[in-house]
Structure 1
Amino acid sequence: MYIEESYYFWRLASDIMINHEFEVLQLDENKEEIWLERRDKNTSYVVRLSHQSFDWANQIKQDQRLLEQNVNRVKKVLASRKLVIHNVYIAQYPPVDDWEEVSKTRNLNQNKNITLHTFYLDHMGRAEEMKKLYHTLSLPEPDFQQPSEMEMEQMIGYLQQSIKNNHERKRKERQEIFAFGKPILTYLLIAINLIMFTIIEWNGGSTDTYTLVEYGAKYNPAIIDGEWWRIVSSMFLHIGFLHITLNMLALYVLGSVVERMYGSIRFLPIYFIGGIVGGLASFAFTPNVAAGASGAIYGLFGALLFFGVVYRKLFFQTIGMNVIIILVLNIGFSIVMPQVDNGAHLGGLLGGFLASSMVHLPRNKAWGRQLGSLALIAVVAAGLGYYGLNHSDNHYDAAIQAQVGSGYLQNDEFDKAIDIANRALPRTEENNDLLYFVRGNGYYGQKEYEKAKADYQKAISLNANRFEAYINLSIIYRDVEQNQSEALKLAKKAQSIDPGNEKAKEIIQSLGESG
């Protein structure tokens, strides 16, 4: 009778898998045990077929304890909210003692989201139990003919091979999902970023704010003036060696995966839309001078999450948990670390997800969703741009504007430094002494000494410890107004604030006194 049980084992497995589109989770030919699964919305229906005999009910209980351990592992892979297990034993005889208690439907580990149904297909009750199984699965009852023992033996090999072929075909289909394209653009983008980093390092340094602004970093006042191209150009600039290293490593890892999944033609809009939406979010909510591919890289995270929406089970069986853990850690790190552009990161994540929905995955079409995603991208981008333009006061942080202005001063572009200060002063409340000092230096460079003098005095009135303003004011009194006593007084004041300042000592000595 072993042949008969083995035949029904493989016959059931073949019917459920091939005719009703269940997929193989686990297969052990030697033990004749197979786990099959089909998902419907948030519920996974799992059929575990096991060809084994039990003499006592306790043996079934022991097997079900092992089953519970396996179910916990399976649930993590499937990531379904509900799990319905159909545990099917195929044997010649039932246990000799009372085993009906262990066959009752119950929740595993008192978890209402995991239900266990048990079916025992022995020689006498096979037809009735099979009918119950298919009814519970909401499947039409099969019409299995009763072949001869010789025909059963011949059929077993055929059924095994059909299951293997079906499983292998689906395995190859899954592999093809991850190998649609080659990461050509990923490598090209890495090369462009590295070239730009080298150019900037050679021409002023990637940590120099003035150099970054000149080469196209995101600088909000310039964007307000119409330089929207900075949203794109800033994606290819990086601030310091650590920044470029981390971003290029992330681009290499994520870009390779996403470009293989989506192909190069789809990868390009995902990357750039993620970066652009991230840049617009940074413009809308962050006043800092910003640069980097972070928004686009978070857009690649968005593409992986969209893949998880389309291929939820495959996502969690492969890369899902790693992607989620890395993403959560990165967002958490961004929140607790200062100077991290969270607007760019979260905007890039949203932009990448919507862009992925717009282009969709290869061999998938959903024109309504795709057009809706395109419209939503346009609405989000326009909304961020509109918000940024109409909340321009948020773009003028005094310390940042003073830093940019100082860069122009170092390059003798005095009019630009003065313009930056003029635009920022009406819109800022804190650290305005920095802006007055920068503007004073601009006027000094243009030899408008009275205006410079007034700005230095204003800077001092706002911050009595602004010793640089005392020094520059001292120089004006000494060299322009020839007021040696006032110049000496101001130089000594600067020295009292910063005793080691060489410039203050030099001025004091030039006025005939010992520093």
Structure 2
Amino acid sequence: MGRMTDAVKHLLIINVLIFIATQLYQEQMLTWFSLWYPENPNFEWWQVVTHMFMHGGLFHIIFNMYALWAFGTPLEQMWGRNKFLFFYFSAGLGAALLHTGVNYFVFQDGLQALVDQGVDKNQIMEIIAGGQYSTAWNDMIGTDKVDSFLSAYNTPAVGASGAIYGILVAFAFAFSEAELMLIFLPIPIKAKYFVPLLIAGDLIFGFTGTATGIAHFAHIGGAIAGFIMMWYWKKNQFNKNRWN
């Protein structure tokens, strides 16, 4: 693999520094830099980028930074810094877009269900903007739908995972025969099978609504963005000098 490349090193350093700052000033950092639902009062436009540098815990950042180093280094060596950074942030934005889009669907579905039960829309928005909700809503539309509705509005997204999934897809394209291992399945698996297996897990958990505390659709969004870019670049055979 060779030495750690410059962009990977700088991304890793920034992520670690922001993680330390988050431990020191957790409430402020999470409020300002996590990705909130657009109608939440905490939402700011810069969060579509800053959430990529936020992490929810030690294992979260360790996993993401290890993957950034292990899979990002050979890609930057192959592409160069500028193309790698373009790919990384584009995958992260793709993750934010799909995650927000799914949250929008979930939120609007719950909101419309309450409106159909005769609850005033403005009253609902005022209540949830104040960090509260009515227990009567559970009887109206069901606890599961209320929980999903409130989670979409109140739970911010953090982490580089969406960008990392784009990196994983690119690695599977570029080094399809490389053998990798899962912690819970300690046998070598070729990258062209390993990465789709991870994505399949996110699809299953995402569509079944299993509560894992992980933004599965952000992972899928990053993977889709990574796939589109790799397919386009392969088809058009971009000149490396274009990224210098």
Which TM-score tier does this pair reach, normalised by the shorter chain? 0.5 to 0.7
Choose the corresponding residue for 2:191, options 323, 330, 337: 323
1:118 is aligned to none
The CA distance in 2 between the partners of 1:257 and 1:298, in whole Å, is 15
> Which residues in structure 2 correspond to 1:50-449 (within 5 Å)?
183-204=5-26, 210-221=27-38, 227-286=44-103, 287=152, 288-307=155-174, 315-316=176-177, 318-319=178-179, 321-334=189-202, 335-336=204-205, 338-359=212-233, 364-365=237-238
Determine which structure has more spread, i.e. the larger CA radius of gyration: 1
- Deviation, 1:189, is 0.5
Please list every run of 5 or more consecutive structure 1 residues that lacks an aligned counterpart in the other structure.
1-177, 205-209, 309-314, 367-515
1:29-62 CA-to-partner distances (Å, cap 9, x unmatched) read xxxxxxxxxxxxxxxxxxxxxxxxxxxxxxxxxx
The CA distance in 2 between the partners of 1:212 and 1:333, in whole Å, is 30
* Equivalent pair of 1:302/1:351 in contact (CA under 8 Å): no
The CA distance in 2 between the partners of 1:244 and 1:261, in whole Å, is 25
The CA distance in 2 between the partners of 1:202 and 1:299, in whole Å, is 30
1:219-250 CA-to-partner distances (Å, cap 9, x unmatched) read 00357997232111100000011111111111
Query: Which of the two has greater strand per residue?
Result: 1
1:438 is aligned to none
* Equivalent pair of 2:173/2:192 in contact (CA under 8 Å): no
The CA distance in 2 between the partners of 1:290 and 1:325, in whole Å, is 28
The CA distance in 2 between the partners of 1:252 and 1:225, in whole Å, is 32
- Deviation, 1:258, is 1.5
Counterpart code for 1:243: H
The CA distance in 1 between the partners of 2:173 and 2:74, in whole Å, is 13
Cα distance change on mapping 1:238 and 1:352 into 2, 3 Å: same
Counterpart code for 2:79: Y
The CA distance in 2 between the partners of 1:222 and 1:196, in whole Å, is 25
* Equivalent pair of 2:172/2:195 in contact (CA under 8 Å): no
1:137 is aligned to none
Counterpart code for 1:342: H
- Deviation, 1:251, is 1.0
* Equivalent pair of 1:266/1:359 in contact (CA under 8 Å): no
Query: Which of the two has greater helix per residue?
Result: 2
Cα distance change on mapping 1:260 and 1:201 into 2, 3 Å: same
Counterpart code for 1:346: I
Cα distance change on mapping 1:199 and 1:304 into 2, 3 Å: same
- Deviation, 1:356, is 3.2
Please state whether the residue corresponding to 2:35 is helix, strand or coil.
Answer: coil
Cα distance change on mapping 1:295 and 1:223 into 2, 3 Å: farther
- Deviation, 1:274, is 0.3
Q: Pick 1 or 2: higher relative contact order, CA cutoff 8 A, min separation 6.
A: 2
* Equivalent pair of 2:95/2:225 in contact (CA under 8 Å): yes
Cα distance change on mapping 1:222 and 1:184 into 2, 3 Å: farther
- Deviation, 1:325, is 3.9
The CA distance in 1 between the partners of 2:231 and 2:4, in whole Å, is 20
Counterpart code for 1:273: S
1:252-300 CA-to-partner distances (Å, cap 9, x unmatched) read 1111122122221211111000000001111111323110000000111
The CA distance in 2 between the partners of 1:305 and 1:238, in whole Å, is 25
2:183 is aligned to none
Cα distance change on mapping 1:319 and 1:182 into 2, 3 Å: same
Counterpart code for 2:216: N
* Equivalent pair of 2:36/2:42 in contact (CA under 8 Å): no
* Equivalent pair of 1:235/1:291 in contact (CA under 8 Å): yes
The CA distance in 1 between the partners of 2:168 and 2:41, in whole Å, is 29
Cα distance change on mapping 1:319 and 1:218 into 2, 3 Å: same
1:69-113 CA-to-partner distances (Å, cap 9, x unmatched) read xxxxxxxxxxxxxxxxxxxxxxxxxxxxxxxxxxxxxxxxxxxxx
- Deviation, 1:307, is 2.9
1:115-172 CA-to-partner distances (Å, cap 9, x unmatched) read xxxxxxxxxxxxxxxxxxxxxxxxxxxxxxxxxxxxxxxxxxxxxxxxxxxxxxxxxx
Instruction: Give the structure-2-normalised TM-score.
Output: 0.62
- Deviation, 1:303, is 1.5
Cα distance change on mapping 1:259 and 1:224 into 2, 3 Å: farther
Cα distance change on mapping 1:332 and 1:306 into 2, 3 Å: closer
How many residue pairs match? The answer is: 175
Counterpart code for 2:44: E
Cα distance change on mapping 1:243 and 1:182 into 2, 3 Å: closer
The CA distance in 2 between the partners of 1:332 and 1:360, in whole Å, is 24
2:126 is aligned to none
Instruction: Give the structure-1-normalised TM-score.
Output: 0.31
* Equivalent pair of 2:35/2:43 in contact (CA under 8 Å): no
Please list every run of 5 or more consecutive structure 2 residues that lacks an aligned counterpart in the other structure.
104-151, 181-188, 240-244
- Deviation, 1:306, is 3.7
1:394 is aligned to none
2:149 is aligned to none
